[in-house]
């Protein structure tokens, strides 16, 4: 999710932001009210070219490191030709210099993704034609033509240390409310469950960053003095009350940036 806070910290070497160059996705499946993690994907608006390794190689390497920590597969999705009903899909190996992802018609993509993630669900819509004229067609396709038990979430920011080893899973929330008034919504429970479970299994810090839409922020674009809600998730109890236990602070954007850099 490339938003105002993502833009604010995008030059930080230790903070990898999900954006058009590559969205870092965690995949899971719903089972009896729980989430079972299945894998990771790196989803780009571009088709793979070895020159991209110079541009996004460090970011992909960080996701490879997270894949290793979780013991889960990592695969590439290149979406540039989605309007022509084709996707690049392939497991990302360690050596990106030899990476040549395969291309599939969207009607074959469901089987490819399920094969990588180790599931075998019946999908009634998988053989239907995709209306690629719809806005945000790829995301509509994943909702409508992949198993309904699948849940997926962007890692809005993946924090790493100086060795590019993951240290934090950051979810960004922006709303019309000021940070001192906002609290996490239970409507986003599945997202928070994936965030917390991934963090527990990979020993990451699960952090929520909240800020107000910039048009409601008299300071304009986020700057060093902008107010940020900084939440450290301590525990999740989806069926209990409270359903999430967290520590909350209101800090400046510069302080939030500093903390994320040093998770």
Q: At what angle do helices 137-145 and 106-117 cross, to 10 degrees?
A: 60
53-57, 98-102, 153-157, 223-227: which has the minimum mean pLDDT? 53-57
Say which residues have a Cβ less than 8 Å from residue 203's Cβ, sequence separation at least 6. Answer: 69
Helix (H) or strand (E) holding 200: helix 189-202
Q: What is the largest CA-CA distance in the chain?
A: 51
Where does residue 153 fall: left (phi above 0), alpha (psi -120 to 50 degrees), or beta otherwise?
beta
> What's the confidence (pLDDT) of residue 197?
96
Structure token pair of residue 18: 């999900």
pLDDT at 3 over 80: no
Q: The pTM is what? A: 0.92
Report the mean per-residue pLDDT for the chain: 89
Q: Which residues of 2-39 are buried (b: 16+ CB within 10 A; e: fewer)?
A: bbbbbebbeeeebbbbbbeebbbbbbbbeeeeebebbb
Distance CA 23, CA 47 (A): 14
Distance CA 179, CA 38 (A): 33
Distance CA 254, CA 9 (A): 9
Query: Is-contact 209 229, C-beta < 8 A?
Result: yes
Q: What is the pLDDT of residues 173-187, one digit of tens each?
A: 999 899 999 999 999
Residue with tokens 């999900």: 18
pLDDT at 130 over 80: no
Q: By percentage, how much of the chain surpasses pLDDT 70?
A: 92
């Amino acid at each position: 999710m490339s938003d105002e806070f993502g833009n604010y910290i995008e030059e930080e070497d230790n903070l990898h932001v999900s954006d058009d160059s590559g969205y870092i996705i965690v995949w899971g499946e719903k089972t009896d009210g729980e989430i079972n993690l299945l894998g990771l994907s790196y989803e780009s608006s571009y088709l793979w070219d070895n020159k991209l390794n110079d541009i996004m190689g460090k970011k992909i390497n960080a996701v490879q490191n997270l894949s290793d920590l979780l013991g889960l597969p990592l695969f590439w999705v290149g979406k540039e030709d989605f309007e022509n009903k084709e996707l690049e899909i392939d497991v990302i190996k360690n050596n990106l210099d030899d990476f040549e992802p395969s291309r599939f018609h969207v009607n074959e993509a469901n089987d490819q993704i399920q094969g990588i993630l180790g599931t075998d669900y019946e999908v009634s819509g998988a053989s239907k034609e995709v209306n690629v004229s719809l806005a945000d067609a790829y995301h509509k396709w994943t909702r409508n033509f992949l198993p309904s038990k699948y849940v997926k979430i962007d890692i809005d920011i993946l924090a790493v240390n100086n060795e590019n080893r993951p240290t934090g899973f950051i979810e960004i929330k922006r709303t019309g409310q000021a940070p001192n008034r906002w609290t996490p919504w239970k409507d986003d429970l599945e997202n928070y469950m994936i965030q917390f479970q991934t963090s527990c299994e990979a020993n990451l810090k699960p952090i929520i960053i909240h800020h107000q839409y910039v048009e409601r922020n008299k300071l304009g674009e986020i700057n060093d003095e902008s107010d940020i809600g900084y939440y450290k998730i301590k525990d999740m109890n989806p069926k209990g009350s409270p359903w999430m236990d967290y520590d909350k602070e209101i800090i400046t954007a510069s302080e939030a940036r500093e903390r994320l850099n040093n998770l």
